[in-house]
Copies of this chain bind each other. A is one copy, B any other.
Amino acid sequence: MGSLTFDNDDENNSYFVTNPLDPKEFRRQGHMIIDFIADYYENIERYQVLSQVEPNYLRKLLPESAPYSPESIETILQDVQKYIIPGITHWQSPKYFAYFPSSGSIAGFLGEMLSTGFNVVGFNWMSSPAATELECIVMDWLGEMLKLPKSFLFSGNGGGVLQGTTCEAILCTLTAARDQMLSQVGREKMEKLVVYGSDQTHSAIQKAAKISGINPMNFRAVKTTKSTSFGLCPKSLRDVVQADAQAGLVPFFLCATVGTTSTNAIDPIGPLCEVAKDYSIWVHVDAAYAGSACICPEFRHFIDGIEGANSFTLNAHKWFFTTLDCCCLWVKDPGTLIKSLSTNPAYLRNKATDSKQVVDYKDWQITLSRRFRAMKLWLVLRSYGVANLRFFLRSHVKMAKLFEELVRLDNRFEVVAPRKFALVCFRVLPKPNVKKVYENDEKALDLERVNKLNQKLLDSINRSGHVYMCPTVVDGEYIIRCAIGATLTEERHVIMAWKVVQEHADALLSRY
């Protein structure tokens, strides 16, 4: 290597006497951090749920470069407390009602620790058989809990896989569907492929289409209306698909949603699959949030018709007590995924793969390396059991019902979209303006005024740090979303949240 240059450095230095994975030291520091996190949960209500820091706050507080010499865990934890926690938006806070929940649990946490502790890279069966096999098993378990058709389970020649997020899962299924269609119509039709969703479908689908090379002109966000509670109307879909097909385009992928992000709208899976079938369109059902609820018999009907779909996802890291990230994807025909996503370099060849007796999950996903995610889902399923998981979900729905009732009792407010799970969409709608009959221009002006009022109300609520809710815009209306499901949330927090909303509305409306 010739002469070596060392800058301020000595090859023979050995500041560190302990191995960085020394079990004794691991034990000492590990216990310390458990107490740190337990303390955090104990004190979590004291923190402002939405962080109130200014952009670039942290640059001013941390050194410009990494330290040359080691620092103690005690020092680092002090800095976490002093510098990081104020910059965190506390998703685990019982006063967190924004986006969708990121519902942690002890079981999910322990599972993540075990997976981190083993730190295996489970790209294929061989690289850690237990990681693959446990994943197959828990995906069948959860599939059964959801009463998915057997065709989605390993026992029925389908199968499930744990990916990071729905974005990845959709990109995988979309790629598989694309290649399947291209193999039928010829690669020269690439620019003619068309993807469908509704105007309420998550942005993940449009992004996935773009990444996978679909012509951005060929993404259809079919319009929904209040009359179907913003669900995708099968007739509207058929019209759009028909027009495309007649224009020489090639429809190939539909993302139907059960529980949209904005208002939890439901696309009717069965009838949509009927339309899709006529055009050999791959149907992916995205139940990222609401899918969890379908383990309760009373909610299962929302995914009726799923037997007509090709793939199905739910995020266990949203409303299923499994820490981020853990997206459950089931497909009817894993072969299509494998055809699009498999690789077989020399350094990964092995007897187990050659025997075709095993699942190699690297061929079911974008990435090669993969964590042992099944561990946390297994711990969640076992630690709580079907009974308690249903109980937890129902308790959130019950609290959402309570919040909804409180909104309805105050006639300055309206519930904007029908509540189905644990998300309540509402807005303040000062009475005098509601009753008036407007000309079109005035109506638009009034909508803008009401939107601004709601925006102000939400800003004011969130700035208080007492609760955190999120907005959305549907059909031009600015709406406040209250998503209940943070694990620590109890009835008292929901009542408090409503009081906060009312107080801020009082203050705002007195000046309106």
8 Å CB contact of A55 from B73, B317, B345, B352 = B352
Q: Are A22 and B106 in contact (CB under 8 A)?
A: yes
Contact residues, A337-374 vs B (CB, 8 A): 340-341, 343-349, 352, 355, 357-358, 366-371
A276-311 interface code vs B (CB 8 A; 1 in, 0 out): 000000000000000000001110000000000000
The CA-CA distance from A203 to B369 in the complex, in Å, is 12
Collect the chain B residues with CB atoms within 8 Å of residue A66's CB: 138, 141-142, 144-145, 381-382, 385-386
8 Å CB contact of A133 from B25, B58, B131, B324 = B58
The CA-CA distance from A382 to B144 in the complex, in Å, is 46
Q: Does A231 contact B (CB under 8 A)?
A: no
Answer whether A20 and B62 are a contact pair too, CB < 8 Å, given A116-B112, A167-B366, A357-B55.
Answer: no
Q: Are B87 and A104 in contact (CB under 8 A)?
A: no
Q: Are A102 and B120 in contact (CB under 8 A)?
A: yes
A71-87 interface code vs B (CB 8 A; 1 in, 0 out): 10101100010011111
Q: Specify how many copies of this chain sit in the oligomer.
A: 2
The residue on B at minimum CB distance from A44 is B23
Q: Does A512 contact B (CB under 8 A)?
A: no
Q: Are B110 and A382 in contact (CB under 8 A)?
A: no
The CA-CA distance from A203 to B363 in the complex, in Å, is 12
8 Å CB contact of A211 from B119, B134, B211, B375 = B211
The CA-CA distance from A324 to B352 in the complex, in Å, is 24
Q: Are B87 and A385 in contact (CB under 8 A)?
A: no
Collect the chain B residues with CB atoms within 8 Å of residue A92's CB: 21, 117-119
8 Å CB contact of A130 from B51, B129, B168, B341 = B51
With most chain B CB atoms within 10 A of its CB, the pick from A76, A191, A392 is A76
The CA-CA distance from A56 to B356 in the complex, in Å, is 12
Collect the chain B residues with CB atoms within 8 Å of residue A369's CB: 164-165, 167, 315, 317, 324-325
**Total residues of chain A contacting the partner, CB 8 A:** 171
A147-188 interface code vs B (CB 8 A; 1 in, 0 out): 000000000000000001101100100010010000000011
8 Å CB contact of A204 from B59, B136, B368, B385 = B368
With most chain B CB atoms within 10 A of its CB, the pick from A21, A27, A131, A188 is A21
With most chain B CB atoms within 10 A of its CB, the pick from A188, A211, A215 is A211
Contact residues, A477-504 vs B (CB, 8 A): 481, 487-488, 490
Give the segment of A33-41, A404-412, A430-438 that binds chain B.
Answer: A33-41
Collect the chain B residues with CB atoms within 8 Å of residue A424's CB: none
The CA-CA distance from A159 to B9 in the complex, in Å, is 27
The CA-CA distance from A117 to B375 in the complex, in Å, is 16
Collect the chain B residues with CB atoms within 8 Å of residue A474's CB: 346
Q: Are A366 and B168 in contact (CB under 8 A)?
A: yes
Q: Does A262 contact B (CB under 8 A)?
A: yes
Q: Are B41 and A21 in contact (CB under 8 A)?
A: yes
Q: Report A470 CB to chain B, min CB distance, Å.
A: 6
Give the segment of A11-19, A238-246, A328-336, A441-449 that binds chain B.
Answer: A11-19
Given A26-B34, A261-B345: 6 more A-B contacts, CB < 8 Å:
A26-B41, A27-B38, A29-B110, A88-B129, A167-B366, A212-B212
Q: List 27 A-B contacts (CB under 8 A).
A: A4-B297, A9-B296, A11-B298, A15-B391, A19-B490, A26-B38, A30-B38, A30-B106, A40-B118, A55-B355, A58-B130, A66-B386, A67-B381, A70-B385, A73-B110, A87-B131, A88-B120, A92-B117, A92-B119, A104-B116, A112-B113, A164-B164, A164-B367, A207-B366, A212-B213, A261-B347, A347-B470
Query: Which 8 residue pairs are nearest across A and B when measured between Cβ atoms?
Result: A213-B213, A87-B130, A30-B34, A37-B117, A203-B343, A346-B473, A58-B133, A20-B105
